[in-house]
A = this chain, B = another copy of it.
């Protein structure tokens, strides 16, 4: 067989050859919605490659992007790696210290920055050791006032660049194409490097009928940020298959999302549960026609069943939970129905949709505990291990590699069970797991149960030290407005939980809080909770 390398440039070429008139619809501000054809996209992508090459970008050069979801960011997704350079997608929500850390650690030489985000980086500039050029992505035709040198306008550079720039066809498919950093529980973010091969194979996986099934007929709206695990790979796959794409740009809100879905007849969209909860609320208040949607994909953290039920039952939109991590490109599994699930009741089907689902073709998974591999019985918990061609094998120049990548497997730090049907269900993080009297208790299962109670807005369950059992669960609950945090409520909630779990799973106490501390990506920061509460409830 031919040794044709799997390269991202082939996606650009395909879109241009077969779907030149299909559109990328890109909102860059309230005043600007761009309609770019794939013909134009391909030209602009080659121009970007030419322009950045003229600025000094070479094979292996790291180019950072600090940007929302829009067409220019998409051009960078292809224009940078297709030359052999590496696009480092910087999470704009990191703390300034961590932003400086990741730019310095990746050794970014050029930064592509949205005009509204530029002030953040300008302030950090004195700390950025390797950056030689700032390129402002925006619609303004004037450079912002700045004391920095080497600041360019993206559109100016493109204007002077050649649209016949040729991407090398002989790149090794294992060449680095992209980088994302993932937040760590403690310490600096950890870098993950994506290869052309990994992204191409991941894109094939996203196009499978049994997975997200991204196809030419789709109109895809990636809400998940392009600086989060490649926007779950959707921008790559959408170009590959020639789908219409819609990008929401900066400062979007639920109303804007719904307007875009209605106006552009979006068929497929993806984001975190927080977004879908907000979108649902807006939809109930101000109805829109969302009948064009064939799927909503939800990931990043567990989706409440009420949310799934609302979209599936009331709005007739299949709502899929996906699972993945920055280290996994990210798609690992998706809650698609296999044929044997057809005969389940509606309620059972919603239970299934709420799980992390079926491993996508191309990856292998297993669960292990202290005794080795655990059975797929829907009960036995184990740490999830993953292997496959779009799974990272290291953290970039980081000694934390040794802990997570062992024997050819990625140790996710997630605790899960597998049903007999090979359906993945996350139950915890290794760090958050509660080990009571030698048995494992899933904090996530308890949290989900609390959150089905009408009075509860959100709930986190953490381990607190215990003399006899070593650890016991403690529930931290935020009530809805208007509810009273008193002993009656405590009793009601504990009784509510008792009926659903083994006796020893039921938390010994509940602490009512105003808010649960969260990470920059909206996940519960249980470490902070543990630190905050460990002393106050010691000896419970």
A198, closest chain B residue (CB): B1
A101 close to B (CB within 8 Å): no
| B194/A339 in contact, CB under 8 A | no
Task: Name which residue of chain B comes closest to A204, CB basis.
Answer: B204
Smallest CB separation, A161 vs chain B (Å): 25
Instruction: Contacts A19-B338, A359-B18 given; indicate if A389 touches B208 (C-beta within 8 A).
Output: no
Contacts of A27 in B (CB 8 A): none
Q: Which of A208-238 contact B (CB under 8 A)?
A: 208-210, 213-217
Q: Is A184 an interface residue (CB 8 A)?
A: no
- Min Cβ gap A240→B in Å is 6
Cβ of A391 under 8 Å from chain B? yes
A335 within 8 Å of B by Cβ? Answer: no
Closest B residue to A237 using CB positions: B361
Assuming the A-B contacts A359-B18, A361-B204, A422-B17, are A216 and B1 also in contact, with contact meaning beta carbons closer than 8 angstroms in the complex?
no
In whole angstroms, how far apart are the Cα atoms of A99 and B486 in the complex? Answer: 86
Q: Does A381 belong to the interface (CB within 8 Å)?
A: no
Question: Does A241 sit within 8 A of B, measured CB to CB?
Answer: yes
Say which one of A3-11, A281-289, A346-354, A464-472 lies at the interface with B.
Answer: A3-11
* A215 and B205 contact, CB distance less than 8 A: no
| A197 contacts chain B at the CB level, 8 A cutoff | yes
A344 / chain B contacts, CB cutoff of 8 Å: none
**Interface pair A4/B389, CB less than 8 Å apart:** yes
A391 touches B421 (CB 8 A): no
Q: In whole angstroms, how far apart are the Cα atoms of A194 and B376 in the complex? A: 35
Q: Is B209 touching A392 in the complex (CB atoms < 8 A)?
A: no
B209 engages A174 (CB within 8 Å): no
Per the bound structure, the CA–CA distance linking A179 and B389 in Å amounts to 26
Is A436 positioned at the interface, with any CB of B under 8 Å from its CB?
A: no
Would you give the 0/1 interface string for A392-426, flagging 1 where the beta carbon is closer than 8 Å to chain B?
11000000000000001010000000000110000
Given contacts A338-B19, A358-B18, contact A387 B4 (CB under 8 A): yes
Q: Which of A221-278 touch B at CB < 8 Å?
A: 240-242
In angstroms, Cα B195 to Cα A391, docked, is: 23
Pick the contact of A197 from B1, B13, B194, B210 — CB < 8 Å? B1
Q: How far is the CA of A408 from the CA of B208 in the complex (A)?
A: 28
Give the chain B neighbours of A210 by CB distance below 8 A: 207, 215-216, 241
A240: B residues at CB distance < 8 A:
361
Q: Select which of B1, B207, B242, B392 is within 8 A of A390 by beta carbon.
A: B1
Q: Is A362 an interface residue (CB 8 A)?
A: yes
Roughly how many angstroms separate A532 CA and B480 CA in the complex, as a whole number?
A: 90
Within 8 A of B (CB), among A113-166: none
* Complex copy number for this chain: 2
Could you say which residues of chain B place their CB within 8 Å of the CB of A217? 338-339
Within 317-365 of A, Cβ neighbours of B (below 8 Å) are at: 329, 338-340, 358-359, 361-362, 364
Q: Does A388 lie at the interface of the complex (its beta carbon under 8 Å from any beta carbon of B)? A: yes
Given A18-B359, A18-B421, A362-B204, A387 and B216 contact (CB-CB distance below 8 Å): no
Closest residue of chain B to A361, judged by CB?
A: B240
A39 within 8 Å of B (CB atoms): no
B422 touches A389 (CB 8 A): no
| Cβ-based interface call for A502 (8 A) | no
Taking the nearest CB of chain B, how far is it from the CB of A297, in angstroms? Answer: 14
Cβ-defined contact, A361 with B14, below 8 A: yes
Contact check, A387 vs B208: say whether CB atoms are below 8 A apart.
no
Select which of B17, B204, B241, B389 is within 8 A of A1 by beta carbon: B389
Residues of B within 8 A of A10 (CB): 362, 364
CB distance from A195 to the nearest CB of B (A): 5
Given the complex, which residues of B lie within 8 Å of A17, measured CB to CB? 376, 422
Bound CA span A93–B390, Å = 42
Name 14 interchain pairs, CB-CB below 8 A, sorted by A.
A1-B174, A1-B195, A1-B393, A2-B410, A3-B174, A4-B387, A4-B408, A14-B361, A17-B422, A18-B359, A18-B422, A204-B361, A208-B209, A210-B216
Interface residue ranges, A against B (CB under 8 Å): 1-4, 6, 10, 13-14, 17-19, 21, 174, 193-195, 197-198, 201, 204-205, 207-210, 213-217, 240-242, 329, 338-340, 358-359, 361-362, 364, 376, 387-393, 408, 410, 421-422
- List 5 other contacts, CB 8 Å, given A1-B393, A19-B338, A208-B241: A1-B389, A18-B359, A201-B204, A207-B207, A209-B215
A-B pairs, 4 with minimum CB distance:
A1-B198, A209-B213, A18-B422, A209-B215
